[in-house]
Amino acid sequence: MPDISTLAFFCVVTLGLLVVPGPAVLYIVTRSVSQGRPAGLISVLGVHVGSIVHIVAAALGLSALLAASATAFTVVKYAGVAYLVWLGVRKLIQRDEGEETVELRVQSNSRLFWEGFVVNVLNPKTAIFFLSFLPHFTDPAAGPIAPQILLLGAIWLALGMASDGTYALLSSALAGRVRGSARARRRIDVGSGVVYLGLAAWLTTSKA
């Protein structure tokens, strides 16, 4: 296993990467603002269960196959693009039911969870990130590489949930401001749709 100094350095570098908002953070913030704290935290859980898939894939070497195969990368990429476009269009065409005050509720915990999961799993750049990032902190002399990647992945996962959970809690404070305004809710829906479509555009430009 990596020594303590390597693990400490890994934690510092990981935190530096996590605090910079990326696609997952934008997704979580969008959910938190539009539906409140529970939705944001459930989205964090879904996103990082998706991260587990990437970590295990990196440990097993599956991410290397994705990086090496242009066809596999393209298929996964455009599946993710299609899903994000669907989410974005659905938000843009969604209509508010009126001007009356409503309570923000998580309509479906399972849907929030699985949307976060799918958004992360269908991002091939995340898979390749783990494949290229985690091995830099392994030590072949310390034993098999796969268990070391799993350990580093577990640390990254814990730090990621803490960082993204903080984003969810902070951004959910804005949810109360849209609770009593249909106009504000509509703006949030439009903003959410634009974010999803922007993420789809970003993923389209990614290369293996």
Tell me the pLDDT of the chain (208 aa) as tens digits.
777 888 888 898 888 778 766 778 888 888 888 788 888 899 999 999 999 998 988 888 765 665 566 676 677 667 767 877 877 787 777 665 444 444 444 467 888 898 889 888 877 667 767 776 777 777 777 778 788 889 999 999 999 999 999 989 988 877 666 555 556 556 666 776 776 677 677 667 755 5
Contact indicator for 30, 199 with CB cutoff of 8 Å: no
CA–CA distance, 71 with 25 (Å, rounded to integer) = 28
Domain regions of the chain by residue span: 4-8+22-204
CA–CA distance, 171 with 173 (Å, rounded to integer) = 5
CA–CA distance, 123 with 120 (Å, rounded to integer) = 5
CA–CA distance, 37 with 173 (Å, rounded to integer) = 8
pTM of the model: 0.69
To which H or E segment does residue 161 belong?
Answer: helix 145-172
To which H or E segment does residue 7 belong?
Answer: helix 4-18
